[in-house]
Amino acid sequence: MSEQKYVGVWPVMLTPFDENRNIDWQSLEKLIEWYLAAGVHGLFADCQSSEMFFLSDNEARKLVRFIIEKVDGRVPVVASGHTASALSHQSEQLIGMAETGVDGVIMISNRLALAGESDEKSLETLQLLTSQLPESVDLGIYECPYPYKRLLSDETVAWCAQSDRFTFIKDTCCDLATIKRRVELSAGSRLHLANANSQTLLASFEAGCKAFSGVMANFHPELYVWLYENWQSEPEKAQRLSDYLSTAALVENLDYPICGKYFQQSLGNFRTILCRVRDSQGFNNTFYPGAIDAMARLGDEIRKSLSL
């Protein structure tokens, strides 16, 4: 059903780079197949985890077209690439992304107004950009924390729900009361909330949230898929799994996305851990690799207990 298209687990995709920090297409294809083998329900391409602020517009569109081609309709794909400051450039980026054939184009909330500007200004920009985008493509918003975090007002969430254009909010509020309020505001519409926060995830599912789109799906997406698909039928196992996922998610603070690329390299998917967003030179000289390895070993035990 179309109203169920944007539910489930949606990894925020990493972008692998080669030794010259060019996109490593071979590693990207391996990553795509790894996500899909885990049973994810969709992919979020060209987002912050993809280092979108460090990709040119041409690179971003090429990246998304490659992903769409390799996915070949097996799951829906949404993408952003909404990084510009000037409104005319933002419109150009979003229209260009819509033309890639992506299922949904995701706007970045902090691009809609400057830090310190009002929620009314943000909503006004959102409405303007929405009017410029083809109705054939679904729309979404991501509360990206870089370069600053702008959380959506209740009025903005309500407008998105009532517009019939918006289907996806990547929610980074990390606050259960706010999530519950947003679920109520979007009830009966096409709009789905995708919680990015592992610590509130199970409780948000219980409150009516129907999707997860967070960085930890770059480490163990199959565990998030299990939680989404089984939390109601096996509540005790779901709570135990949620306890692990909540704790494991603290590795987000260990130099992400480098730590994610390190994990993908350990699986044989990536050839390097190189990033554009930050220098990875000192990563292997810290305690970070050991912490990632320990998290993965514990995850293996959890996986066995769930017969995965």
- What is the per-residue pLDDT across 213-233, written as a single tens digit (0 to 9) for each? 999 999 999 999 999 999 999
Q: CA geometry: angle at 280 spanning 220 and 38, to 5°?
A: 15
Nearest-angstrom CA–CA distance, 253 and 47:
18
Burial degree of 62 (CB within 10 A; 0-12, 13-18, 19+): middle
User: 1 pLDDT exceeds 50?
Assistant: no
Burial degree of 19 (CB within 10 A; 0-12, 13-18, 19+): exposed
Mean pLDDT of the chain: 97
Give pairs for 20-29: CB < 8 Å, separation 24+. 21/274, 21/276, 23/59, 23/62, 23/63, 24/270, 24/271, 24/272, 25/66, 26/271, 27/264, 27/269, 27/270, 27/271, 28/63, 28/66, 28/67, 28/70, 29/70
pLDDT at residue 3, rounded to an integer:
60
**Residue where the block lists tokens 């704790």:** 247
Under 8 Å between Cβ of 9 and 211: yes
- Tens digits of residue pLDDT in 111-164: 999 999 999 999 999 999 999 999 999 999 999 999 999 999 999 999 999 999
Going by C-alpha positions, the residue among 66, 116, 59 that lies closest to residue 83 is: 59
- Tens digits of residue pLDDT in 254-280: 999 999 999 999 999 999 999 999 999
**Residue where the block lists tokens 């135990």:** 240
User: 2 pLDDT exceeds 60?
Assistant: no
> Would you identify the CATH topology of the domain 2-233?
TIM Barrel (3.20.20)
First vs last Cα of the chain: how many Å apart? Answer: 27
The three-class DSSP label of residue 111 is helix
Query: pLDDT exceeding 90 applies to what percent of the chain?
Result: 97
